[in-house]
Amino acid sequence: MKVAFQGEAGAYSEQALLGHFGAVETLPCESFEAVFRAVHSGQCEAAMVPIENSLAGSIHQNYDLLLRNDLQIVGERFLRVCHCLIVLPGVARQDLRKAISHPQALGQCEAYLRGHGLQAEQGYDTAGSVKLLKASGARDTAAIASRRAAELHGMEILEEGIEDDPENYTRFLAIQQEPKAFQGEAKTSIVFTLKNQPGALFKAMSVFALRDLDLTKIESRPLQGSPWEYLFYIDFIGAIQEDTVRRALDHLGEYATMLRVLGSYPRFRADQG
Amino acid sequence: MKVAFQGEAGAYSEQALLGHFGAVETLPCESFEAVFRAVHSGQCEAAMVPIENSLAGSIHQNYDLLLRNDLQIVGERFLRVCHCLIVLPGVARQDLRKAISHPQALGQCEAYLRGHGLQAEQGYDTAGSVKLLKASGARDTAAIASRRAAELHGMEILEEGIEDDPENYTRFLAIQQEPKAFQGEAKTSIVFTLKNQPGALFKAMSVFALRDLDLTKIESRPLQGSPWEYLFYIDFIGAIQEDTVRRALDHLGEYATMLRVLGSYPRFRADQG
């Protein structure tokens, strides 16, 4: 099995992918578009893409790509983003003057860097910064990336978990061309638009509340150029095969102008793999 | 008046800032934390920060910083992200082989770059890439950034609006220490948590629906480590000074375990400045 992800070897996406799919072949891609193309064209059987981060929010671009490519969500995985301070073998803390990484990672370690008198230097990628550091041979510089990125390049970890806010999680989705059968508690993700009328969202939510279906996510996304029109994202507990869920979605159809089920898949449990 | 923003001179945040506040002094900051510090400490009277993007989603980090720093939202502004292909004066399209920019901007222009046979090279910042290109003197390379970044550095624009998806908008918030009086249609932003009980969100939404208060945003954000607990963000039309709004928020207080009003401010209209 071959699974696509965005980024370089050692990226957090690759880590999530290996956690979910096990020891499969991985295909690094330059962009999310390229990841979806790889699955849509059949070059890969599956992909793993980030869909939301506890600090950076939902990645609407990947919702768009899901809708446009007509692929199925077949799984989810939460990964705690745990940044490591990575150096060339033998380099000691007191040798360091700079830290290089993706600007987002640098921002997430800002207090740590300030506290340790390390100057932030911006790179284009977390795992890529480790590769660059190794090639440069710089002994006054650390890279900030995942444990896996350090291990892949034979580098040393001086400290693990240097992010200022430990509540830094990314939710990843496993994507395939066809739905996959599974057992256990299910989650379903849908996207819809509503008629532009008063209380429309309240009515839409009633189809779940009246059937005791628990929501795990709700988000409105404004459609630009139409100040009162929105895409809504809802995730709820239940599978489309279940009677109650089918009735709720039928009911939602009475208010919706567009309704797409992105997939039903096993709910991720932290105690899994 | 001095207003802080994240990024380098010519950044989209600075453009939004000048559109909102007019011709004020601007303070470029390295990180969002530094932007909030500048306002909290009184170094600046105000700041302009992005809060959500139509492709990249809500920037939870700035919600956290708003909560933590106890500052007020005093305005909002939507800005269409319009990427330009920027070169040294005299460089022609056929001279180009590469384009440099922030990875997000490169991703947003992927089809354009592919169509024109330009290789993407990752930089750490859009406006910063223009500065770098100018310093390097490279005549086979273009930078991708805003019109303002090109003008600031005396560079030429070969093409404007090269983003693949023209529906690329960022919403910015103006932040100050104290609320500001205003006239016209108001929007209010709140953040709250709810008791963990069935139908809690549906009840919370009823306080608005029962009073015909229109929502312009709703978003749930999972609190990590507590699988059924969420922060909710809601924006609605109305000001906290209004009786109906005060009653709705009192009512919401019956279900909420935490409720914070981030500010009431004039709703942005595209025909404004």
**Annotated domain spans of chain B:** 2-80+168-176, 84-160, 186-266
Which amino acid, B37? R
- The alpha-carbon gap from A176 to the nearest alpha carbon of chain B, in Å, equals 22
Please identify, in words, the CATH class of the domain defined by B186-266: alpha beta
Please confirm, yes or no, whether B193 is among the known catalytic residues: no
Mutate: best of A101, A170, A218, partner B, most B CBs <10 A? A218
Please write the tens of the pLDDT for every residue from A70-108. Answer: 899 999 999 999 999 999 999 999 999 999 998 778 878
- What are the DSSP E strand ranges found in chain B? 2-6, 25-29, 46-53, 57-58, 72-80, 84-87, 98-101, 119-122, 141-145, 156-160, 169-176, 186-194, 215-222, 230-237, 256-266
CA-nearest of A191, A210, A168 to A258 is A191
* Residue B32 near residue B57, CB atoms below 8 Å: no
pLDDT at A272 over 70: no
B contacts of A58 (beta carbons < 8 Å): 57-58
Topology of domain A2-81+168-176 in CATH is D-Maltodextrin-Binding Protein; domain 2 (3.40.190)
Please write the tens of the pLDDT for every residue from B108-152. Answer: 898 899 899 998 887 778 998 999 999 999 999 999 999 999 999
Please report which confidence band the pLDDT of residue B273 belongs to, taking 50, 70 and 90 as the band edges.
very low
Cα A36 to chain centroid, rounded: 14
* Residue B14 near residue B23, CB atoms below 8 Å: no
B contacts of A30 (beta carbons < 8 Å): 120
Of A125, A169, A209, the CB nearest to B224: A169
Which amino acid, A68? R
Do domains A2-81+168-176 and A84-160 share one topology? The answer is yes
B169 touching A (Cβ < 8 Å): yes
Locate tokens 């793999």: which residue?
A273
- The alpha-carbon gap from B132 to the nearest alpha carbon of chain A, in Å, equals 13
Please write the tens of the pLDDT for every residue from A32-84. Answer: 889 999 999 999 999 999 999 887 788 888 998 999 998 999 999 999 999 99
Structure tokens at B221: 């954000």
Q: What is the mean pLDDT of chain A?
A: 92
pTM: 0.85
- Tell me the backbone φ, ψ of residue A19, rounded to 5 degrees: -65, -40
* Residue A64 near residue B55, CB atoms below 8 Å: yes
B209 touching A (Cβ < 8 Å): yes
Please report the pLDDT score of residue B227 as a whole number: 63
Please report which confidence band the pLDDT of residue A273 belongs to, taking 50, 70 and 90 as the band edges.
very low
* Region A146-174 average pLDDT: 93
Domain B84-160 belongs to what architecture? 3-Layer(aba) Sandwich (3.40)
CATH 3.40.190.10 fits domain B2-80+168-176: yes
Task: State how far the Cα of A187 lies from the Cα of A259, in Å rounded to an integer.
Answer: 17
